[in-house]
Every structure is written in C-alpha cells, then in structure tokens.
C-alpha cells in the first residue's frame, strides 16, 4: 500500500491573491468553494508546489508572487 500524506496546516504569504493565509485542514476529504476569482485554484496551485515538478500551472516562480507584494512568496505546510 502506498504511503498516505496529510496536510494539516497550510500557510501562504504573498502567494497569488493572498497577502497572508493560514488554514487548518482536518483529515479526510476537503472541498474548496467560493466565487470566481476567490482563490480556490491558487490554493490548489500552492499545494501542487509541495510535490515534485513546477506546480499546477507550471508558472515561473516570479509569476506566483502577489501583485503589490515585495516580489517573494512563502509556502509552508
């Protein structure tokens, strides 16, 4: 059986449309819902950076920094 991974907390700083975000994640299925442009796909993209590869959208790292931020971003899980 393959190893299972669980993200219990996700913290973003200056990532896409999030100046700061910290969410606790319970075990089990997770559903993101919200209006268009709210940042649901940005959350998925942040999570995808935790896996090998260049992320969900394959965007250059400079493109995921929040507009109006200092040009960098942080992701912690």
What are the DSSP calls for 45-73, one per residue?
Answer: HHHHTTSSSS-SS---HHHHBPTTS-S--
Confidence (pTM): 0.81
Mean pLDDT by 10 residues, the chain (77 residues): 85 96 93 95 92 79 86 88
Full set of structural domains in the chain with CATH? 9-76 (3.40.50.300)
Q: What is residue 37's predicted lDDT score, i.e. its pLDDT?
A: 93
17, 20, 71: which is closest to 40 by C-alpha? 17
């Amino acid at each position: 059986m393959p190893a299972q991974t669980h993200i219990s907390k996700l913290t973003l700083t200056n990532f896409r449309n999030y100046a700061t975000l910290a969410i606790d994640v319970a075990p089990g299925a997770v559903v993101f819902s919200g209006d268009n442009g709210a940042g649901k796909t940005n959350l998925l993209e942040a999570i995808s950076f935790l896996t090998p590869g260049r992320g969900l959208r394959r965007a250059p790292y400079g493109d995921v920094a929040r507009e109006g931020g200092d040009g960098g971003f942080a992701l912690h899980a």
